[in-house]
Amino acid sequence: MKLTRKQLGRIICEELSSHGTLLEFVDSEGTPEIAGRIRDMARQWKRDDGTQIRQKDPEAEALLRDIWDSAGWEDQGYSQPWSAATISTAASVGPTGWPTGATVVAHNEYQTAGYANRENWFKGLPLNAKSSRGNTFDGWIAFRPEEFDPKEGDIPCAGRDGAAGSSFEKLGTSRLPTHCDVCLDDGCNQVAGGNIRLDGDDDDADTTLGIRNRKSGTVMYITREPEPFADLPIDWKLEFLDELPSDIKASVEAEADGQDPGISESAQLLRNFIRCEIARK
Q: What is the pLDDT of residues 62-99, one digit of tens each?
A: 999 888 887 766 665 555 789 988 998 898 765 555 65
Residue type, 166: S
Domain residue ranges of the chain, discontinuous segments joined by +:
5-26+233-280, 32-224
**Residues with Cβ within 8 Å of residue 1, at least 6 apart in sequence:** 243
What does the alpha-carbon distance between residue 171 and residue 183 come to, in Å, rounded to a whole number?
Answer: 19
Statement: the pTM of the whole predicted model exceeds 0.85: no
Q: Looking at residue 68, what is its pLDDT?
A: 84
Q: Is the pLDDT of residue 19 over 50?
A: no
Q: Is the pLDDT of residue 228 over 50?
A: no
Q: Looking at residue 9, what is its pLDDT?
A: 59
